[in-house]
Structure 1
Amino acid sequence: MNAEAGFEDGAPVLTVPHYHWGSCMVCHTPATPSQPLKRCSRCHSMFYCSAAHQKAHWKQHKRLCSYLSSAADAVGSELFFAAGEATDTEDDPKRNWSTFKLNAAMMADIILGDLEVWEKEMFLFPRACRVYFKKTKMVEMTALPPTEQIRMRFLTDRLSGPMTLLYGMEKTSVRGGKTLPDVEELTIHIVGSNVVEMVGIIRWEYVLHQVPKCSRLHVIFIGPELAPEEPEGIIEELGACAECQDMGREMNYEIRRSLYKDYCESHDYTLPDLVAVFNCGFHENESNPGQETWKDSLPFLIQHCSVPLIFTSYCQSEAAKDLESMQKTGKNFDTVLCKEINPFQSYRPFRDHECDMNRDVFYTNQYLSIIKAS
């Protein structure tokens, strides 16, 4: 494991390709008035900064290009997405547009096989008018230059998790009734962990740096989606920074690749001082039992009376549903914070094709709730 992935000076931050119609699919150079992007002449949905990049990407784009252009030809349209344009008589054009995009992506996935992330995004985030979702006679927005503020937004995405934990511990005590200034040792369960929590793993040591009396921090990542190549147990090659080591402070990271219920019932279980679930999605698959993975584990999140559960949600509507999922467990709990705006949310925007509360971007850890078993 690269402990400092994404933190080395000058090192690229590796991520999966994404589709943004306002930038070249290959190099992500944005369009400008003097240098507009080239549009694929067949499907009219992919954009490039040059003919060379269009040619270089043709192998990846070919199957979806043929699919989009053939589907458009079949209905006598130049653009595949013209079928989703709103009319003046529609009662809920935004919902209809969202449904059209989602169904189109699902159909393509069935016909073509598993789509890549960027291919799905071609369906979910096409170039279209914000009001009537039309594709012609568009008014271009002025491109904004990169700024320090934009770079800082990316950093908030990295530090949102640790800062949310610290903020939560300011709002409530941890196991044994200890408050943040008095904590000498701290064990944190980060439940539902996946690659998001593991990238730049050393960021979690920031919690240790901000709790002066704490001599030992033990962070346990628990979740079935953790990378299989990482061995379970303590990550031996990772520890505290040199400064903390000189002060006799200890930093331990541990991986447990399982559902939280199974972990709590195993011999590997370590009693936590605090339990956290980031962007929890407790409610997401309640109506789909075949994909539901949270239901049996939810009661275990609040099984100890003095151990708080901190959980975050992407948006307000999800926060309400996530809290309702905890209420359905039948466990009694006290609410410390109830679906409040998190002052330490990430400020890196992510696109949302469903437009919750008329917003088409969301932020990780945006809404925060804290509960304790009573």
Structure 2
Amino acid sequence: MECAWKGRTNRCLGPARRRCGGCGAVAYCSASHQISHWSEHKEECDRLKQHMKHIDSLNEFPFTFSIQATIQVCEKRETRCSLLRKWGIHQLGMWLYECQCGTSVASFSCSRDCFFSIKTFLYLERVLRVAPLTIYHATQTGLGSRISETNQKLHIHYLGPEKELLQLAVFAELHALFPGMDVHIEFIGPAVPQCRDGQSFTLRKYARCISTDCSCRSTEDVSWGLHTSKSATVSMKLRRGFYHDCYRDIVKDSSPHLIIAPNAGIAAYSSWLPTIELIKEINVPAVFSDYCEEACNLGARYITSITGSPLSFPIQLNPFRQPMVVEDSALFLPCYSNCFLFGM
């Protein structure tokens, strides 16, 4: 936890151990920094206090590892690395990118072999599958009954992918989540490497696991008991750049039914302004997620100030948020990948 006044005027005097007595969500290195920050913090203090009341529900997951992956990580008794080591999957396959040991997206290999294999780990697979599960939930939220109007062809524009670029194989789960439907996803963002700009992929029904004797290697297409259409596909295309710059070229191939922006940080990046204006113009449902309720609140206020309209989808807890807390968050609030959703 960093001092909430860090980087302003005076240098911090030490660790941020002095918590706000009102909300308890922010901390300071000294009384002087707390006093200096009050003129800004007083507007958010009551709101953060209400958010802090939701801690128990945020940490509640129906998994055997919930306390380890939530409370113990927040209290620094565990880390993501230590948990993955205990589970025997540290630095294996796509799990590599779930801790600080993982290769950064900036060093994303330019080889075409990006589909790392993965063995199914019962409940633990939820850690990796948060992205496709969030797509499913966002589709139900953003389209609802209108999904029938897609004629079994669902086109999604996925904005700002980062770690997802190193875990593309997990999106094969969309075969099970949208049975019999062709799903096409355009991944658009500045983190897409130049060498992969414009590349297209079609996924198998399920990712192959790392075990050489697993039955999934004995057939070309495994359905694991799910009756899906043989003709249904999950296809993807990578696009480098900001959405507002790429949109005109993208829609030549793929007009979206839905726009999804995971962990968007709407209020933190000025580049969102032209994108929000574009989304308003094209009038396509857009669902955003973020790590905590306060980030969504700031993002929602930013969107309404630009569009002049209220949200179409109010801020709501994502039941498919990742069940491992984000380490070293800026607030004492527990933060999870794709924790809350809201939309326009």
Q: TM range, normalised to the smaller chain?
A: 0.5 to 0.7
CA distance in 2, matches of 1:157, 1:82: 37
- Please state how far the C-alpha of 1:170 moved relative to its aligned partner: 2.5
Larger Rg: 1
Q: Residue 230 of structure 2 aligns with which residue?
A: 247
User: How has the CA–CA distance of structure 1 residues 300 and 147 changed in structure 2, closer, same or farther, with 3 Å as cutoff?
Assistant: same
- Conservation of the 8 A alpha-carbon contact between 1:347 and 1:363: yes
CA contact (8 A) 1:279 1:312 kept: yes
Decide whether aligned partners of structure 1 residues 221 and 93 sit closer, same or farther in structure 2, where only a CA change above 3 A counts: closer
The aligned counterpart of 1:230 is: 196
Among residues 242, 246, 261, which one is paired with 2:244 in the alignment? 261
Structure 1 residue aligned with 2:8: none
Relative to the length of structure 1, the TM-score reads 0.53
Aligned to 2:29: 97
CA contact (8 A) 1:191 1:275 kept: yes
1 CA distance for matches of 2:329 and 2:134?
26
Trace 1:193-212 onto structure 2 (pairs within 5 A).
193-194=161-162, 196-212=163-179
Residue matched to 1:122: none
Displacement, 1:166?
A: 1.2
| 1:352 partner SS | coil
2:340 aligned residue:
367
Alignment of 1:34-73 (within 5 A): none
Displacement of 1:142? 9.9
> Unaligned regions of 5+ residues in structure 1, if any?
1-80, 101-139, 286-291
Q: How far, CA to CA, are the matches of 2:124 and 2:130 in structure 1?
A: 10
How far apart, in 2, do the equivalents of 1:93 and 1:345 lie? 21
Aligned residues: 234
One-letter amino acid matched to 1:273: H
Q: Does 1:322 align with 2:299?
A: yes
More displaced 10-residue stretch of structure 1: 273-282 or 202-211: 202-211
In 2 relative to 1, CA 335–96 (structure 1 residues): closer, same or farther, beyond 3 Å?
Answer: same
Q: Which has the higher contact order (CA 8 A, sep 6+)?
A: 2
Letter in 1 for 2:241: S
Larger displacement relative to structure 2 (252-261 or 223-232): 223-232
1:154-191: CA deviations, max 9, x gaps? 532321111112122223426xx633697511111001
How far apart are residue 200 of structure 1 and its match? 2.0
Q: Are 1:273 and 2:257 an aligned pair?
A: yes
SS in 1 for 2:256: coil
SS of 2:185's partner is strand
The CA RMSD over aligned residues, in Å, is 3.9
User: Structure 2: where are the runs of 5+ without partners?
Assistant: 1-11, 34-75, 91-120, 206-220
Mapped to 2, the partners of 1:366 and 1:141 lie a distance apart of 22
More helix by share: 2
**Aligned residue identity for 1:171:** T
1:168 equivalent to 2:138? Answer yes
TM-score, scaled to structure 2: 0.57
Contact 1:217 1:250 in 2 (8 A): yes
Which residue of 318, 322, 325 corresponds with 1:346? Answer: 322
Look up the match of 1:295. Answer: 273
